[in-house]
Amino acid sequence: MVKETIRVYARVKPLGRRQQAGSYSVDNEEPLPSLEITVPRDLGDGFINNKRESYKFKFQKIFDQEAKQDVIFDSIAKPVAECVLAGYNGTIFAYGQTGSGKTFTVTGGAERYSDRGIIPRTLSYIFDQLQKDSSKVYTTHVSYLEIYNECGYDLLDPRHEASRMEDLPKVTIMEDSDQNIHLKNLSLQQATNEEEALNLLFLGDTNRMIAETPMNQASSRSHCIFTIHISSKEPGSATIRRSKLHLVDLAGSERVAKTGIGGQLLTEAKYINLSLHYLEQVIIALAEKNRSHIPYRNSMMTSVLRDSLGGNCMTTMIAMLAMDKRNIGESISTCRFAQRVALIKNEAVLNEEIDPRLMIVQLKKEIQDLKDELALVTGKQRTSELSQEELLQLDELIETFLKDNDPDSSLDVGADMRKIKYSFVHMKQIINHPMTSGNKLLSQDISEEKNSNEELEKLKGLLQQRDNEINILVTMLKKEKKKARDALSQFNASSAGSTALEQSPSMSLEENQSPSKCFSLKEAKVLSSSIPRLPFLSRATGGEMSLGCQEAFEVFKRDHADSITIEDNKQLLKQRFDEAKCLGEKLNEVRNKINHLKGKVIQRQIQRAAQAVSNPSEELTFDPVEENLRMQIEEEKKSYKTVYSRFKGLKVEIEHLQLLMEKVKMKLQKDFEIWWAEEAKKFQQEKSEMVTSPNTVTVYPHFTRSSQHLSPISFSDTNRDSPNEDPAVKKNSVTFGNPTLKTSN
């Protein structure tokens, strides 16, 4: 049994360029490293400030601004990963306000390979270790849970691609008779190697990003728990050892009433996130001696982490701190929370259990015993199926019940779970399929009318979207036109007198638009062609992107800051590919050399054997030539090994880079979707304002020609009620509420 307190570390985020540094000092000397934060006394409001000026907090270790990700992994995560490999449970959670670097520390930055965080590094480490140990059979699974507003979502649910988060089945908590927590609807995906596990991590992160909308900035308000489950068994043994490692990116810990330095700094304001408040309550309760009741059940997160906070677990917390002046207050809160966490003592025990097959045999016997007992009490042998006769009886009962207009009537099928279940199923059928179930409560007329109303609503919506789309494009075109005009006038100013390029400032739209279009399309191709698409990222789209929307996307992409990152990574990737190719060639070369040397050794042995036959007096003694060849072979083998391990490392890096690029690309698409939806909303508002002032004329007739690919209906209000039936137009429709995009490969 391992007994120790929760380890608490602090990491200070590097200051931003425009941020003013707060005053703090780090003392990492033994025995207890400490962080001291000084708060200036100036209040400016005339009150005398009696509050303390400087605060000192103790940590296991403090990582200052320049600490790199590999150091963080080695000092914080590796010891926990080792415990998990030995069969204990482990948890690492990052706590701090939004923007303090939690996601950067747990998952990693989206740009550089060296910025990868604790999760990818831990996966790499764990799979490396498992591969080295051949004494046991290991199975590894991962799960990825997001908790938002007390609801759990499975980030690895494959249905994410097609549906919104809210439509997926919620993850719920179940407790068995031993008070163990089970999570219903959270999938455990098997990952047999690092690459598979990394793909799952990226799938989850991408799903998280897609689910986020501007209204719901889920990432700062949700908790994400990435869990690695390992089970091991020695061959022939019935004992299975299971352990899990939770890597938790908590919601932002900022408080509602954000006050300046001094003033109400030490007053406890309300948490934005109630579940963090409950986490704190659990932690306080755990730290108190002789507390028998721990309020785990108050929130989903504390329930999920129940066996990972107080109980059987190696727990580590990283307090994330932003030390610029504006955030010192929040950082002090984070440190105070950390100090409370550091008081908890944990007892980690090995998780061993009996083989489930033995368990099944036992349980089957128990069931049979119970059935026998039941038969004895009721005098009836009970099978799992209801008889035909019983079913008919039930149908009749249900029908009478449904037809009975008396509000007090009830349906009594007896104390038999099978019958109760059947009744519910039967009624569900009647409700869902009234026609086939023989219930003609709903007349056909009603449903037809409903259908046509729905159709009308749909078409109206479509018209609305088309209208918005054109408006956005028109604005974009205007901007492009302005840009070109500015560029031209600049050019004209610099080359005054040159007549060749002088043109009227009112360039036609076509002339104006085409160069930028050519450029962006070409560029877009370059951008996307370099990225191999992963199967999980090809989202099942509800509708294709319309030409207009595509074009807007191309321009958006060209101007987006992330395209630089993509470009940089693309270069890096190319370099890495070249390096890998070189190393591959080198490996082949070395292999050939080894084979060649081996051939020589054999030749030499044959020669010497022949000599021995023809001249038996000469004894077969040590042969320096052969020895020399063997030494050369060993040398080559060594160099093969080094080159090979470099080659392997490069492969992992390449895969990671590819995933990063996918992620940045997804983000770009998402940013576009948000922008697009916002633009649409803006035009919607403008339009409704225009309706109230009928004198305003806002039609851009001269743009019509360049927007030929768009349905002209949106330009004239008179056509509103005759929906365009052109199938091509239909195909190109875009849904504004939840636009889905497809990128060319």
- Is the Cβ of residue 100 or residue 565 nearer to ligand ADP in the bound state? 100
- Report the DSSP pairing between strands 7-13 and 314-322: parallel
User: Using CB distances below 5 to 8 A depending on partner kind, what does residue 96 bind out of Mg ion, ligand ADP, none?
Assistant: ligand ADP
Q: Which two tokens stand for residue 307?
A: 């066996």
Closest CB to Mg ion: residue number: 103
Q: Which two tokens stand for residue 68?
A: 């790199």
Nearest to 299 by CA among 143, 149, 165: 149
In whole angstroms, the minimum distance from the beta carbon of 725 to ligand ADP comes to 48
Residue 94 phi, psi dihedral angles, 5° rounding: -105, 125
Of the candidates 60, 89, 91, 100, which one interacts with ligand ADP according to CB under 6 A? 100
Q: Is 103 annotated as a binding residue?
A: yes
Per-residue contact flags (x/-) with ligand ADP for residues 271 to 310, judged by CB under 6 A: ----------------------------------------
Q: Residue 356 CB: number of other CB atoms within 10 A?
A: 11
Told to check if 160 binds ligand ADP by CB under 6 A, we report no
In whole angstroms, the minimum distance from the beta carbon of 666 to ligand ADP comes to 16
Told to check if 714 binds Mg ion by CB under 5 A, we report no
Q: Is 96 annotated as a binding residue?
A: yes
Told to check if 253 binds ligand ADP by CB under 6 A, we report no
- Is the Cβ of residue 145 or residue 552 nearer to ligand ADP in the bound state? 145
Instruction: Give 116's contacts (C-beta < 8 A, 6+ positions apart).
Output: 69, 108, 109, 656
Binding piece for ligand ADP, criterion CB under 6 A, among 27-35, 100-108, 281-289, 505-513: 100-108
- Is the Cβ of residue 323 or residue 594 nearer to ligand ADP in the bound state? 323
In whole angstroms, the minimum distance from the beta carbon of 101 to ligand ADP comes to 3
Told to check if 96 binds ligand ADP by CB under 6 A, we report yes
Of the candidates 104, 202, 296, 556, which one interacts with ligand ADP according to CB under 6 A? 104
Distance CA 160, CA 144 (A): 13
- Is the Cβ of residue 334 or residue 520 nearer to ligand ADP in the bound state? 334
Distance CA 709, CA 727 (A): 13
Q: Which two tokens stand for residue 422?
A: 């059947």
In whole angstroms, the minimum distance from the beta carbon of 246 to ligand ADP comes to 17
Where in 190-229 is the site for ligand ADP (CB under 6 A)?
220
Told to check if 9 binds ligand ADP by CB under 6 A, we report no
Distance CA 429, CA 427 (A): 5
Query: Which residues in 119-157 are b (16+ Cβ under 10 Å) and which e?
Result: bbbbbbbbbeebeeeeeeebebbbbbbbbbeeebbbbbb
- Report the DSSP pairing between strands 7-13 and 61-63: parallel
- Is the Cβ of residue 221 or residue 539 nearer to Mg ion in the bound state? 221
Told to check if 13 binds ligand ADP by CB under 6 A, we report yes
User: Using CB distances below 5 to 8 A depending on partner kind, what does residue 14 bind out of ligand ADP, Mg ion, none?
Assistant: ligand ADP
User: Using CB distances below 5 to 8 A depending on partner kind, what does residue 99 bind out of ligand ADP, Mg ion, none?
Assistant: ligand ADP
Per-residue contact flags (x/-) with ligand ADP for residues 14 to 53, judged by CB under 6 A: x---------------------------------------
- Is the Cβ of residue 320 or residue 633 nearer to ligand ADP in the bound state? 320
- Is the Cβ of residue 28 or residue 738 nearer to ligand ADP in the bound state? 28
**Region for 595 from its dihedrals, namely left if φ exceeds 0, alpha if ψ lies in -120 to 50, beta otherwise:** alpha
Where in 318-377 is the site for ligand ADP (CB under 6 A)?
320
Distance CA 89, CA 67 (A): 27
In whole angstroms, the minimum distance from the beta carbon of 217 to Mg ion comes to 10
What's at 106, amino acid-wise? Answer: V
Q: Is 16 annotated as a binding residue?
A: no
Distance CA 197, CA 192 (A): 8
Told to check if 109 binds ligand ADP by CB under 6 A, we report yes
What's at 247, amino acid-wise? Answer: L
Q: Which two tokens stand for residue 595?
A: 């084979």
Distance CA 556, CA 548 (A): 12
In whole angstroms, the minimum distance from the beta carbon of 138 to Mg ion comes to 31
Told to check if 103 binds ligand ADP by CB under 6 A, we report yes
Q: Which helix (H) or strand (E) holds 593?
A: helix 562-614
Distance CA 489, CA 504 (A): 10
Question: If you write DSSP's letter for every residue of 614-627 in order, what string do you get?
Answer: H-TTS-----HHHH
Answer whether 140's CB lies under 8 Å from 192's CB.
yes
Answer whether 49's CB lies under 8 Å from 60's CB.
no
User: Using CB distances below 5 to 8 A depending on partner kind, what does residue 100 bind out of Mg ion, ligand ADP, none?
Assistant: ligand ADP
Question: If you write DSSP's letter for every residue of 143-212 in order, what string do you get?
Answer: EEEEEETTEEEETT-GGGGTS-GGGSPPBEEEE-TT--EEEET---EE--SHHHHHHHHHHHHHHHHHH-
Q: Is 99 annotated as a binding residue?
A: yes
Distance CA 425, CA 409 (A): 20
Q: Which two tokens stand for residue 522?
A: 């070409």
Q: Is 548 annotated as a binding residue?
A: no
Told to check if 103 binds Mg ion by CB under 5 A, we report yes
Closest CB to ligand ADP: residue number: 101
Q: Is 428 annotated as a binding residue?
A: no
Q: Is 102 annotated as a binding residue?
A: yes
- Is the Cβ of residue 232 or residue 253 nearer to Mg ion in the bound state? 253
- Is the Cβ of residue 276 or residue 474 nearer to ligand ADP in the bound state? 276
Residue numbers in the known binding site for ATP are 96-103
| Residues found near Mg ion in the complex (CB under 5 A) | 103
| Residues found near ligand ADP in the complex (CB under 6 A) | 13-14, 96, 98-104, 109, 220, 252, 320
Residue numbers in the known binding site are 96-103
